[in-house]
Structure 1
């Protein structure tokens, strides 16, 4: 999913039409208030951000994105009429991953988007975000509401497996095979114990782990 925050209706509609026609699912927002509400519901894979906006400017929004542990690695491309070299340097130094000055060509925009997604693909595939829970599998970091949580290796592996298979119910046997290995001879109660301590450590975010009675566990879509 790509989010576009652009207050010019004609530009927003044209960019959204182009992106969706190229198989890139995209949503547009006229004002930051709608954008922030959507960010609470779903973190996109990329943000296209105008600079001059009502309510608050693009650099202020960019600063908030970079200052939040849930979104600090989110790819952001500035799309703006401010096209001077100074503005471009300011935008990139403020945390933007790329910068395009208006007016821009749609073919170049599509190419830039694909390139940016390729550069961030490996990182994004190992970054899981569910409400207040953020897990960076590559860096072995877990946080809830920005506060880092310490997990044991097995707890971390169980959590990552559930996140990787989000929406699917994983049986206790599947969890044991994947986390402890096929040679594990302990009881499946081991999984229940780890899930219980995992929920306790995650606090408010622990409710994301759902029990499927008589079968196993899952983290919902």
Structure 2
């Protein structure tokens, strides 16, 4: 799994210090300095978020509340970093959905220990496998297999297949797929969905798994292992 962390901190010196330290620990770090930038960076699929409480635009707690409503991002673990250290502040963060809470100033070694503890709990101790027939998707490793043969997919193709396999037998319009996979990205359009469906089918075809992704005339697409021609 890509060890990608989103650091959301409005003070540039602190943000860059954290980013440098985590990079030295072999994490892939992306940065944001305000609420909206953090929302935009979610498209880069971070696996963990370090989040400052006080941000330009809206607060870190409001950011947590925002992503907990987004199906694609609601499961991302969050560690809150803040100068607020009162007991009620900690409770507010945890009740909002944060996984941990670190008061400033903090030791980089303590930060690393907290990150690795959350990482182990969320990603290493839970095997998240989705299997339909002999097609298997590993959520944690972001890998797809058919009869133990790995199928190479891009990040977006993986997200699309993941959505289909976790929502089988239901037809989705292109607009619904755009909203679920690409969110509020204004640069994508209906034909983007068709293009990625073609790519995904092409990569699944050597394993005869392209037939799972079915065209539903007048609606869009569905994922099904009941094979019938309704397109």
TM-score range (shorter-chain normalised) is 0.5 to 0.7
Name the residue aligned to 2:188.
Answer: none
- Contact 2:81 2:101 (8 Å CA) reproduced: yes
Is residue 129 of structure 2 the alignment partner of residue 126 of structure 1?
A: no
Name the residue aligned to 1:201.
Answer: 221
- Contact 1:77 1:100 (8 Å CA) reproduced: yes
- Contact 1:70 1:134 (8 Å CA) reproduced: no
Name the residue aligned to 1:2.
Answer: 5
Alpha-carbon separation, structure 1, partners of 2:10 and 2:166: 38
Name the residue aligned to 1:97.
Answer: 99
User: What displacement does 1:141 show?
Assistant: 4.0
User: What displacement does 1:21 show?
Assistant: 0.8
Name the residue aligned to 1:33.
Answer: 36
RMSD of aligned C-alpha atoms?
A: 3.5
The DSSP-based 3-state class of the residue aligned with 2:68 is helix
The DSSP-based 3-state class of the residue aligned with 1:90 is helix
**Mapping 1:115-194, distance limit 5 Å:** 115-121=117-123, 122=126, 123=128, 125-126=138-139, 130=156, 133=160, 135=162, 140-141=166-167, 144=177, 145=179, 170=203, 172-173=205-206, 175-176=207-208, 191=210, 193-194=211-212
Query: TM-score, normalization: structure 1?
Result: 0.64
Range moving further from structure 2, 87-96 or 127-136 = 127-136
Q: Deviations over 1:6-47 (max 9, x none)?
A: 0112211110010001111101211122222222x3221011
Name the residue aligned to 1:42.
Answer: 44
User: What displacement does 1:134 show?
Assistant: 7.9
- Contact 1:75 1:120 (8 Å CA) reproduced: yes
Query: TM-score, normalization: structure 2?
Result: 0.62
Cα distance, 1:78–1:38 mapped onto 2, change above 3 Å: same
Cα distance, 1:100–1:171 mapped onto 2, change above 3 Å: closer
Unaligned runs of at least 5 residues, structure 1:
148-161, 180-190, 204-221
Q: Deviations over 1:55-99 (max 9, x none)?
A: 100010000111111111111110001111111011001100111
Give the one of 11, 16, 22 matched to 2:14: 11
Unaligned runs of at least 5 residues, structure 2:
130-137, 143-154, 169-175, 182-195, 224-231
Is residue 126 of structure 2 the alignment partner of residue 106 of structure 1?
A: no
Alpha-carbon separation, structure 2, partners of 1:75 and 1:134: 22
Q: How many residues align?
A: 169
Range moving further from structure 2, 94-103 or 122-131 = 122-131
Alpha-carbon separation, structure 1, partners of 2:29 and 2:91: 27
- Contact 2:67 2:73 (8 Å CA) reproduced: yes
